[in-house]
């Protein structure tokens, strides 16, 4: 291939890409006009909605009983550990409920870690993301945030939860070590799964972190739905304008 031929192909490719980009921009502009909003208004409104929704969710969870007192997000012990609950219940005191309280307190402590991670993801919201969210279902923005932040949130929550679960709880034993030892004893008694099903995970911190994030996104989604459906939850003029077009 000659240099001149290669040059023509590069120019042609660049022209095609540029044309597609301009067409995309024009299409987005047309969509903005169709809903009576500028692109800036759409993005501004959605960012405000996300900030308001995430701030409210984090604030409500990052308090005493934020998780523990709310049946929608309260974290229970892993379901796969049901076979050992009877064993745990024979120990002195209310060991099961003490453990449940401990893991919920750990989640409440960790909730504050979400705010800066959400802020960074909200800043990355593009015009295309904005229109996808605006025309999506009642929790489209929450789904966007989940895809952008889940792993970062897990990495931020888990160390804090591990620290909380390592604190002495019953008889000077932490919730994490008690749970881990009980599961280990149960698996040993099962002859590594020969007598009855082996429990595959003995990490209370992994379980708590995943459940804490599930509860967090449930709350963010509930806030988003309220903003979309209830005008009284549109706390700024731009929120009112953006979501009034969807009513």
Per residue in 18-58, pLDDT (tens digit) is: 333 333 344 444 445 555 678 888 888 889 889 999 999 99
* Amino acid 20: pLDDT: 30
Reported as a single tens digit per residue, the pLDDT across 103-142 is 999 999 999 999 999 999 999 999 889 888 888 899 999 9
Does 13 fall in a domain? Answer: yes
Reported as a single tens digit per residue, the pLDDT across 80-96 is 777 777 666 666 567 77
Do 136 and 187 sit in the same domain of this protein? Answer: yes
Do 16 and 51 sit in the same domain of this protein? Answer: no
* Amino acid 237: pLDDT: 75
* Amino acid 247: pLDDT: 59
Average confidence (pLDDT) over 202-217: 92
* Amino acid 176: pLDDT: 84
What are the CA-CA distances from residue 1 to residues 7, 12, 16, 176 (Å)? 10, 16, 21, 66
Do 65 and 155 sit in the same domain of this protein? Answer: yes
More confident residue, 161 or 236: 161
Do 140 and 79 sit in the same domain of this protein? Answer: yes
* Amino acid 70: pLDDT: 97
* Amino acid 17: pLDDT: 29
Do 185 and 76 sit in the same domain of this protein? Answer: yes
Flag whether pLDDT at 102 surpasses 50.
Answer: yes
Do 75 and 190 sit in the same domain of this protein? Answer: yes
User: Which structural domain, as residue segments, surrounds residue 22?
Assistant: 1-34
Average confidence (pLDDT) over 194-220: 87
Does 41 fall in a domain? Answer: no
**Among positive and negative, which fits the CA dihedral 5, 9, 10, 15?**
positive
* Amino acid 23: pLDDT: 33
* Amino acid 227: pLDDT: 85
* Number of domains the chain is built from: 2
| 14-18, 29-33, 243-247 — most confident range | 243-247
Phi, psi (5° rounding) for residue 202? Answer: -115, 25
| Contacts within 8 Å (CB) and 24+ apart, 123-132 | 123/47, 124/148, 125/43, 125/46, 125/47, 125/50, 126/43, 127/28, 127/39, 127/42, 127/43, 128/24, 128/28, 130/39, 130/42, 130/43, 130/46, 131/28, 131/31, 131/32, 131/42
Does 5 fall in a domain? Answer: yes
* Amino acid 152: pLDDT: 98
Reported as a single tens digit per residue, the pLDDT across 178-192 is 777 777 777 787 777
Does 211 fall in a domain? Answer: yes
Average confidence (pLDDT) over 67-87: 85
Do 147 and 198 sit in the same domain of this protein? Answer: yes
Reported as a single tens digit per residue, the pLDDT across 152-177 is 999 999 999 999 999 887 677 888 88
* Amino acid 91: pLDDT: 61
* Amino acid 87: pLDDT: 66
* Amino acid 177: pLDDT: 83
């Amino acid at each position: 291939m000659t240099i001149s031929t290669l040059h023509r192909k590069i120019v042609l490719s660049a022209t095609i890409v540029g044309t597609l980009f301009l067409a995309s921009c024009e299409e987005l502009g047309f969509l903005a006009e169709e809903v009576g909003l500028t692109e800036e208004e759409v993005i501004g409104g959605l960012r405000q909605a996300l900030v308001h929704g995430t701030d409210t969710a984090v604030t409500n969870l990052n308090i005493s009983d934020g998780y523990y007192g709310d049946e929608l997000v309260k974290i229970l012990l892993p379901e796969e550990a049901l076979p050992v609950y009877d064993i745990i219940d024979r120990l002195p005191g209310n060991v099961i409920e003490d453990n449940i309280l401990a893991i919920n307190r750990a989640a409440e402590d960790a909730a504050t870690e979400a705010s800066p991670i959400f802020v960074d993801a909200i800043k990355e919201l593009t015009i295309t993301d904005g229109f996808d969210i605006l025309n999506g279902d009642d929790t489209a923005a929450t789904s966007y945030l989940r895809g952008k932040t889940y792993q970062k949130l897990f990495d931020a929550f888990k160390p804090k939860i591990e620290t909380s679960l390592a604190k002495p709880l019953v008889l000077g034993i932490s919730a994490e070590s008690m749970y881990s030892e009980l599961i280990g004893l149960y698996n040993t008694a099962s002859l590594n799964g020969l007598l009855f099903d082996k429990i595959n995970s003995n990490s209370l911190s992994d379980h708590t972190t995943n459940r804490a994030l599930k509860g967090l996104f449930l709350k963010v989604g509930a806030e988003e739905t309220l903003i979309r459906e209830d005008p009284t939850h549109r706390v700024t003029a731009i929120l009112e304008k953006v979501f009034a077009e969807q009513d």
